[in-house]
Structure 1
Amino acid sequence: MWGALWIVYLVWGSTYLAIRISVDTIPPLLASGVRFVGAGLALYGYLALRHGAAHVRVTVREVAYAAGVGTALVGANGLVFVAEQTVPSGIAALVISSVPLWVVIMRKAAGDHVSGAALAGVAVGFTGVAILLLPGEMPSGGSPFGFTLIVIASVSWAAGTFLSPRLVLPRNSFVSTAVQMMCGGMVMLVAGVLAGEPTRIDVGAFSTASVIAFVYLVVFGSLVAFSAYVWLLQAAPISKVSTYAYVNPVVATFLGWIILDEVMSGTALVGAALVVASVAVTVREQKAGRRAESPNHAGRRKAA
């Protein structure tokens, strides 16, 4: 179990660094789209070959709902790709880690029971996010537009997470994930075309580091780590699995500091600590509620 958990910790935590490196020379929306379409096709094809066509058969309704969830989740990832052209990877990871806080707000708005401790965690967490986004705390080179995209991405990611257990998705979690990745990835490809990215492609200008980082995202970020995550959801206590939500930003921040020389001020470090601590409290408070409201089908999965 711990081997799979460390894969999720380290690989998902390192994807923010890999994204930052890949978008140095590769168009962000097309990169995000190709990443998820490729990973989705690979996963779907593997499942079909391993278990047969009947195993991967889905209804039109399931595809429609999976496409909606996939667009929210993969779309959030696409925004992270765009934002990390100017936003440091560690800051991006810390703001994205606020996803559980947004989910609590959505659950409260939907009439679900939310504990007072969870709401207190949300308040503390958003205080931390606000500190990170203070104009004086933005790292040099960071743009307000990029930081805005990261916040929008966290809301989109939360929406996909919130809606997943409430919709009729393919029963098999791997099939559901493959469909979500393919559908969401195709939306990103269309967005990239509309943004004019194909006219700016210069394969000869792609750096070796960007290409290696992109391949890493497809193989390890979208296939290896996610497979480990799904296995953990079936084999390990949710209290342990959910710890990735507050370990990943720590890993991302450390790697950004060691490899890319990303530095945060003392004030920003306080904000980061508030975010991580609040997510830890919120996730622990909400895990019992998530188990109670989950349907029989496995739709609650993260496409990362």
Structure 2
Amino acid sequence: MSLPVAPAAPSRFLVAAALLSLYLIWGSTYLATKVALTAWPPLLLSSVRYLLAGGVQYAVMRFSGSPAPSRQDWFRASVVGFCLLLFGNGGTTFSQQYIPSGLAALMVASVPMFLALMGWASGITPRPTAKVTGGLVLGMVGMYLLASNRTATAVLYPGHHLLGVGLVLMAAFMWSVGSLYSKKNPTSGSPFVGVGMQMLCGGVFLGIAGLLHGEATQVNVSAISPKAWGAFVYLVTFGSWVAFSAYIWLLRVVEPALAGTYAFVNPAVAVLLGWAFGGEALNLQMGSGAVLIVVAVMLVVLGGRRPNRASPAGYASVSDAELSSK
């Protein structure tokens, strides 16, 4: 019996282009969110974004022949949507009313550290290595520098710095919970259908939360500026579709560790964009915390790397958690 032939190596140009799209697009969604928040209330902004993106993706996959998901698949998707999108994305978006977008991005980089600790505690992942432990310590120091930082950066509701920091940490924690659940309880069938289902469920939860929060009275479609509409369209098309496609393709043609480098590049991009275009301050304390966070995430991600056995087809596996990171 002949062995299956491994696919040809992908073009270096295509790999570089896909990585660049992840770095720039996912790093810029924080600034786009900040712009959109000038016209949209936070929870309904996220709700409409994911209902639109998830609805289109799910419909396209179903019309292209993907089988209908089971009730169990919908339950699993709803749990992931509840944790990742309602608390994870919704909490991060809500926090940007109180803290700069660059600071929010840097604190979201704590997700790999939560995953390392919670994965080990739940028995899903091995005990953290010495490098991972060192990264966790550095990360905590970096988080302290960021959480205690005070700047004169303009935000929608100044004077609530600690509330914004707490919301981001809660969002990062719940994102990690949902990611671990998704890894242990993946939906069956096409992962593209699963991602569409998760976005739909998360969009419904975000919509309910937004209505309960009284955000319906804050929406005035006729008053939304072209700049805010542009930010919203950018979040749907580039943040939810283009970057997802690039990430999924990278996971199939390169090592997952290389595809996952967005985790410590996005914060740097977000901080620079917030400083250059969003009027956000960048001081020595914030810069020091940023450096420690980036180094910590690199140690956690790369220090916890284990050799991967290639599948017969030469592709890396794709989990729902990996597809639901933005």
Choose from 12, 37, 43 the match for 1:23: 37
Distance verdict in 2 for CA 1:118–1:289, change over 3 Å: farther
Contact 1:173/1:230 (8 A) holds in 2? no
Distance verdict in 2 for CA 1:221–1:155, change over 3 Å: same
Residue 69 of structure 2 aligns to a residue whose secondary structure is: coil
**1:72 aligns to what?**
83
Residue 300 of structure 1 aligns to a residue whose secondary structure is: helix
Q: What one-letter code is carried by the residue in structure 2 that aligns with 1:126?
A: M
**1:256 aligns to what?**
274
Counterpart-to-counterpart distance in 2, 1:301 and 1:7: 16
Choose from 218, 221, 235 the match for 1:217: 235
Matches within 5 A, 1:107-122: 107-111=119-123, 112-113=125-126, 114-122=128-136
Residue 171 of structure 1 aligns to a residue whose secondary structure is: coil
Does 2:108 correspond to 1:96?
yes
Q: Deviations over 1:247-294 (max 9, x none)?
A: 0111111110110121122112111100011001111123328989xx
Distance verdict in 2 for CA 1:166–1:135, change over 3 Å: same
* TM-fit CA distance, 1:139: 4.9
* TM-fit CA distance, 1:117: 1.5
Choose from 203, 207, 229 the match for 2:221: 203
Choose from 143, 168, 182 the match for 1:164: 182
**1:301 aligns to what?**
322
Choose from 47, 50, 61 the match for 1:33: 47
Residue 288 of structure 1 aligns to a residue whose secondary structure is: coil
Matches within 5 A, 1:116-195: 116-134=130-148, 136=150, 139=153, 141=158, 143=160, 144-195=162-213
* TM-fit CA distance, 1:138: 7.9
- Give the stretch that moved more between structures: 131-140 or 232-241: 131-140
- Give the stretch that moved more between structures: 56-65 or 247-256: 56-65
Counterpart-to-counterpart distance in 2, 1:296 and 1:249: 26
Counterpart-to-counterpart distance in 2, 1:81 and 1:67: 20
Counterpart-to-counterpart distance in 1, 2:266 and 2:309: 22
Distance verdict in 2 for CA 1:186–1:279, change over 3 Å: same
**1:63 aligns to what?**
74
Distance verdict in 2 for CA 1:256–1:290, change over 3 Å: farther
Contact 1:132/1:138 (8 A) holds in 2? no
* TM-fit CA distance, 1:224: 0.8
TM-score normalised according to structure 2 size: 0.87
Contact 2:69/2:189 (8 A) holds in 1? no
* TM-fit CA distance, 1:302: 3.7
Choose from 297, 307, 317 the match for 1:279: 297
Q: What one-letter code is carried by the residue in structure 1 that aligns with 2:184?
A: R
Unaligned runs of 5+ in 1: none
**Count of residue pairs brought into register by the alignment:** 299
Contact 2:132/2:304 (8 A) holds in 1? yes
Counterpart-to-counterpart distance in 2, 1:288 and 1:115: 11
Residue 220 of structure 1 aligns to a residue whose secondary structure is: helix
**2:99 aligns to what?**
87
CA RMSD of aligned residues (A): 2.0
Distance verdict in 2 for CA 1:158–1:103, change over 3 Å: same
* TM-fit CA distance, 1:101: 0.4
Q: Deviations over 1:68-101 (max 9, x none)?
A: 0122111211111111112111100000011000
* TM-fit CA distance, 1:158: 1.3
Counterpart-to-counterpart distance in 1, 2:132 and 2:62: 41
Contact 2:40/2:218 (8 A) holds in 1? no
Counterpart-to-counterpart distance in 1, 2:317 and 2:89: 27
User: Once the two structures are aligned, what percentage of the paired residues are identical?
Assistant: 35
Q: What one-letter code is carried by the residue in structure 1 that aligns with 2:304?
A: Q
Contact 1:32/1:77 (8 A) holds in 2? yes
Q: Deviations over 1:124-155 (max 9, x none)?
A: 11210111001546856362212211111111
Structure 1 runs of 4+ off > 6 angstroms? 289-292
**1:265 aligns to what?**
283
Q: What one-letter code is carried by the residue in structure 2 that aligns with 1:116?
A: A
TM-score normalised according to structure 1 size: 0.93
